[in-house]
Amino acid sequence: MLDGPIGGAAFNNEFGRPNLTGYFRTFEEVVDGEMRGYHKPIMIAGGMGSIQEQQIHKNEIPEGALLIQLGGPSLLIGLGGGAASSMDTGANSENLDFDSVQRGNPEIQRRCQEVIDRCWQYGEQNPIVSIHDVGAGGLSNAFPELVNDAGRGAIFQLRKVHLEEKGMTPMQIWSNESQERYVLAILPEDLGRFTALCERERCPFAVLGVATDDGHLQVRDDYFNNNPVDMPLEVLLGKPPRMTRDATTQTPEFRVFDASTYDLRESAFRVLRNPAVADKSFLITIGDRTVGGMTARDQMVGPWQVPVADVAVTTMGFNTYRGEAMAMGERTPAALFCAPASGRMAIGEALTNLAATDVGELGNVKLSANWMAAAGHPGEDANLYRTVEAVSELSQSLGVSIPVGKDSLSMKTVWEDNGEKKSVTAPLSLIISAFAPVEDVRKTVTPQLQAEKDTDLILIDMGHGRCRLGGSILGQVWKNMNGRAPDVESPAQLAAFFSTIQSLVRDQLLLAYHDRSDGGLFATLAEMMFA
């Protein structure tokens, strides 16, 4: 609860990017006889960038192009990342757990970013022909994908890879998942210019290979005088056999949520103390929210700096009111009642948050979908399939796209305690991040009530009075996991709502705005009054 965010904020502070949005969820409840919750935690980190239109396409890599690793050296870490991410925590070996641990270096990451920035600022003279990030599988995955996308092959010199640790095997050098690295292709005649940029930014790089036209991948090892990898790329990256999985849908038994037995005063105190509703200042003040000087809207709102802002807004420069907006949405506990509903609600929350600023048409919005699930757990594969299908249908109905995302399908922890087998399984968790350009950052509405003006508070209830409490904070604080999950009933109505709020924001007719999420209308009004 503390160490993870502190580590994330430390990276954010050292890298030099403002941390302007987020969410915080705690959950651990017995549902239908099994423990569900986040014994294996989720920590999501992401960012938003801008790019010139002329830079959005990778160019064709010609034969003879130089293949470069930009960034930090190889370390004996991350070797279990791609494999361990698909295993239940506790089910794999201790060595694989240790090999999966990452060590971040924000200083090197920043140097890489500065080199890339200097390159694209050359415009049409950008020395980078094509670029690819280094993720699961390390160089063994990134380099083949870089050249295969261009229909090329490659020859690499393994011993030119920078090493931080001695004694690494060829497999460890080629496959480790050390962070802060990119692979890219440049033309030989641009090497001098690229070298000068890297030296100016003190960013390490190494020319590891050259592109060929034979579609063959060869990794040469001068130390052992052999080729540990020597194969056609189509064998490595060709169409793999289609995976099949047997999935069984499990429909949870419906039980009525009876709130009549709960004391109203005690319910209010419990809801406000739940971490999903309570003050998040301890998570926010550890991160710099103004670095760079282009923050227009951070989490803190009003004269008392209450962290209740719906949307993060930044400007595109120091002499413009145009900017970018980012917001998040998730309804993970609702997945235990209806998984597709939780996915639709995540999109709904992200959009109602984003509506607080001047982003214009709904089609301007782009989404990032981060999926977490316990693959193989009874009912969860079917839940994942149905939720992906539901999210796809809703996105198409709304006219918004999901161009990017991530996933982790190992959200289950298993262990033994005095010979007794125990487990905690996370609910299917979809985290949506929404992004959009902003026409005028000054037209951003916060939840701060304008007490000095004669105003009306209006509730727009897209739930049509159903008041469904399945997975709600009220249910969690009383350990009452009954009821039905809230849902997005009408995509057309959600789109109409977004358009209406945008009109009011653009004409500056809204004095305050806040979406209804955790804690319901009670918590929403409380947050607005405190702001």
Same domain, 444 and 476: yes
> Do 473 and 329 touch, CB atoms closer than 8 A?
no
* Beta pairing class for 66-71 and 205-212: antiparallel
Residue 196 CB burial class (10 angstroms; 0-12, 13-18, ≥19) = exposed
Per DSSP, what are the bridge partners of residue 424? 413
CATH of the domain at 321: 3.30.1330.10
From the list 46, 33, 178, the residue with the least C-alpha distance to 105 is 178
> pLDDT tens for residues 106-138?
999 999 999 999 999 999 999 999 999 998 889
Contacts of 59 (CB under 8 A, 6+ apart): 129, 130
pLDDT at 86 over 70: no
Examine the fold and report which residue of 205, 237, 269 is the final residue of a domain before the chain moves on.
237
What is the CATH number for 73? Answer: 3.90.650.10
Same domain, 114 and 224: yes
Question: Does residue 327 lie within any of the structural domains?
Answer: yes
Please report whether residue 27 resides in a domain: yes
> What is the rounded CA–CA span in Å between residue 290 and residue 280?
18
**Same structural domain, 185 and 296:** no
% of the chain at pLDDT higher than 90: 77
Q: Is the pLDDT at 94 greater than 90, yes or no? A: no
Q: So what's the pLDDT on residue 97? A: 57
Number of domains into which the chain is organized: 2
Q: For 294-320, how does the pLDDT look when each residue is reduced to its tens digit (9 = 90+)?
A: 999 999 999 999 999 999 999 999 999
Least confident of 25-34, 245-254, 289-298: 245-254
CA distances from 210 to 69, 96, 157, 163, 204 (A): 12, 33, 9, 20, 19
Answer yes or no: is 37 within a domain: no
Residue 392 shares a structural domain with residue 360:
yes
Please give the mean pLDDT across all residues of the chain.
Answer: 92
Q: Are residues 451 and 315 in the same domain?
A: yes
Same domain, 229 and 259: no
Q: Which two tokens stand for residue 354?
A: 């984003």
Give the ranges where 355-490 is alpha helix by DSSP (H). Answer: 380-398, 473-477
Task: Please check whether residue 49 lies inside any domain of the structure.
Answer: no
Note whether residue 38 is domain-resident: no
Percent residues over pLDDT 70 in the chain: 96
pLDDT digits (tens, 9 = 90+) for 510-530: 999 999 989 999 999 999 988
Domain limits for position 156: 59-237
What are the tens digits of pLDDT across the range 319-366? 999 999 999 999 999 999 999 999 999 999 999 999 999 999 999 999
Same domain, 266 and 217: no
Q: Averaged over 452-470, what is the pLDDT? A: 91
For residues 385 and 421, state if they share a domain.
yes
Q: Rounded mean pLDDT of 451-473?
A: 91
Residue 93 has pLDDT above 60, yes or no: no
Q: Of the residues 210, 237, 264, which one is the last residue of a structural domain?
A: 237
Residue 51 covered by a domain: no
For residues 164 and 74, is the Cβ–Cβ distance under 8 A?
yes
Enter the DSSP assignment of 374.
Answer: B
In a domain, 41, yes or no: no
Verify that 290 and 412 share a domain, yes or no.
yes
**Does residue 259 sit in the same domain as residue 206?**
no
Same domain for 259 and 138: no
Residues whose CB falls within 8 Å of the CB of residue 199, separated by 6 or more in sequence, listed in order:
none
Residues 423 and 520 grouped into a single domain: yes
User: pLDDT for 381-423, tens place per residue?
Assistant: 999 999 999 999 999 999 999 999 988 888 999 999 888 999 9
> Is residue 500 within a helix (H) or strand (E), and if so which, with residue range?
helix 491-506
Is 259 inside any structural domain? Answer: yes
- What is the structure's pLDDT at 450? 85
Specify which residues 36 forms β-bridges with. Answer: 29, 425
Q: Which of 202, 237, 272 is the last residue of a domain?
A: 237
